Amino acid sequence: MSEVNNVVIIGSGPAGCTAAIYAARANLNPILVTGTEPGGQLTTTPEVGNWPGLKDNPSGFDVMQNLQEHAKSLGTVFISDNVVKASVKDEIKEITLASGNILKTKTVIIATGAKARYLGVKGEEEYKGKGVSACATCDGFFFRKKDVAVIGGGSAAFAEALFLASLCNKVYLVHRREGFRAEAILVDKMNELVKSGKVEYVLNATVSEIKGNGNTVNAIVVNQQGNEREIALQGIFVAIGHSPATELFKDELELDKEGYITVNHGASTQTSVAGVFACGDCQDKIYRQAITSAGSGCQAALDVEHYLM
Ligand code: NAP
């Protein structure tokens, strides 16, 4: 494509969609490249209980469907494709898609989010998709009435474990410390399930191995303060946080040592390269909420508008 666009947005989570809504309303005719998981991380959250104004806990999938429909209704062009290369240092930037198409653009908004982290223990890679998952909403259904473990002590681990407790026979919540980062409201709910025996906390415990019969998982081995314990189960859900999806930009933009895109925090969403802006979880390791991502998407679109003027 030889046409030079005003703005190409990479990513279709809360940050990317909000940037698209604002850019479309500013008559910038935004193009949004969705990536392989349209809607991003939020689509795998069973209930969103903290999006202002939505008190009935809609699913993350529904929230993202609405956001995408909103952006489309204002004229954003959605391209269902993956970006394989981004050359952004020149005034006219080139975004290469997996299909081979190249988008030329004056500005880029990067809203690529973050990807689930895994444990890196023996058996994990072998059993991915055969009992090892990082998404209870996606895969929990396959473990109805079975025993599963969730690894992690943050809100994601708690949200996943609460969801799984409604489907599974028993849920082990395995966490490397005794204290939890998860929101108090989630911990309170979980404590009730622990009392009823539906959930068991396995604390001060690290997973050392995932075992299986060659086809499916049948146990995990945890090291609990020096003692090894084998827990028989059929599923393991890893919820230990995310890494920013910024690999594409490592030679183009300044990233911090954890791989997050460096932006002009507090002042703008400007990256180290003129005309390139970043929003959402690819640049945020502190707040990481859907609503803060959406807020930074709004800022990125306003920054683009200002830059183009
Ligand atoms: P998080 O808050 O960073 O928690 C990650 C958890 O994984 C921590 O408990 C951490 O342990 C543990 N962990 C990290 N690396 C580990 C390793 N190698 N082995 C074992 N355990 C490891 O991440 P998150 O839960 O994904 O949440 C991310 C953000 O999204 C947070 O701001 C959270 O509030 C938000 N969120 C909210 C909801 C909700 O329903 N409100 C749902 C999902 C996410 P330590 O505590 O020991 O470091």
The percent of residues in the chain predicted with pLDDT above 90, rounded, is 86
List, for residues 141-196, the tens digit of each pLDDT value: 899 999 999 999 999 999 999 999 999 999 999 999 999 999 999 999 999 999 99
- Ligand 1: list residues with CB < 6 Å: 45, 50, 119, 151-157, 159, 176-177, 181, 183, 239-242, 288-289
What is the rounded CA–CA span in Å between residue 181 and residue 28? Answer: 40
Average pLDDT, the chain: 95
Radius of gyration of the chain from its Cα atoms, rounded to whole angstroms = 21
Q: How many angstroms does the Cα of residue 239 sit away from the middle of ligand 1?
A: 7
Cα-based torsion angle of the residue sequence 145, 148, 152, 157 in order, rounded to the nearest 10 degrees: -20
Q: Which long-range contacts (CB under 8 A, 24 or more apart) does 255-262 make?
A: 258/285, 260/284, 260/285, 261/110
List, for residues 50-61, the tens digit of each pLDDT value: 899 999 989 999
Kindly state the greatest CA–CA separation across the chain: 64
List, for residues 274-289, the tens digit of each pLDDT value: 999 999 999 998 888 8
Q: How confident is the model at residue 137 (pLDDT cuts 50, 70, 90)?
A: confident
pLDDT at 17 over 80: yes
pLDDT at 206 over 80: yes
Residue nearest to atom 15 of ligand 1 (CA): 240
Give the global pTM.
0.79
What is the rounded CA–CA span in Å between residue 192 and residue 234? Answer: 24
| pLDDT given for residue 303 in this prediction | 98
Cα-based torsion angle of the residue sequence 218, 222, 227, 228 in order, rounded to the nearest 10 degrees: 30
Q: Which two tokens stand for residue 108?
A: 């880029």
| Residue 135: active-site member | yes
The one catalytic residue among 135, 168, 279, 282: 135
What is the rounded CA–CA span in Å between residue 234 and residue 243? Answer: 26
List, for residues 92-116, the tens digit of each pLDDT value: 999 999 999 999 999 999 999 998 8
Q: How many angstroms does the Cα of residue 180 sit away from the middle of ligand 1?
A: 9
- Would you say how long the chain is, in residues? 309
pLDDT at 235 over 90: yes
Q: Which residue from 176, 187, 287 has its CB within 8 A of the most atoms of ligand 1, so it is best to mutate?
A: 176
The percent of residues in the chain predicted with pLDDT above 70, rounded, is 99
What is the rounded CA–CA span in Å between residue 97 and residue 66? Answer: 25
Q: Which residue from 119, 240, 285 has its CB within 8 A of the most atoms of ligand 1, so it is best to mutate?
A: 240
Q: What residues form DSSP beta bridges with 223? A: 206, 228
Residue nearest to atom 18 of ligand 1 (CA): 119
Which ligand 1 atom sits nearest the alpha carbon of residue 240?
7
Q: How many angstroms does the Cα of residue 151 sit away from the middle of ligand 1?
A: 10
pLDDT at 49 over 90: no
pLDDT at 292 over 60: yes
Q: How confident is the model at residue 48 (pLDDT cuts 50, 70, 90)?
A: confident
What is the rounded CA–CA span in Å between residue 287 and residue 128? Answer: 29
Residue nearest to atom 39 of ligand 1 (CA): 155
| pLDDT given for residue 92 in this prediction | 98
| Residue 188: active-site member | no
Q: How many angstroms does the Cα of residue 136 sit away from the middle of ligand 1?
A: 15
Mean pLDDT of the region 40-65: 89
Mean pLDDT of the region 70-86: 98
| pLDDT given for residue 267 in this prediction | 84
Residue nearest to atom 2 of ligand 1 (CA): 154
Residue pair 173/200 in contact (Cβ under 8 Å)? The answer is yes
Q: How many angstroms does the Cα of residue 79 sit away from the middle of ligand 1?
A: 31
| pLDDT given for residue 220 in this prediction | 98
| Residue 27 backbone dihedrals phi, psi, to 5 degrees | 60, 35
| Residue 298: active-site member | no
Q: How confident is the model at residue 1 (pLDDT cuts 50, 70, 90)?
A: low
The one catalytic residue among 17, 81, 139, 279: 139
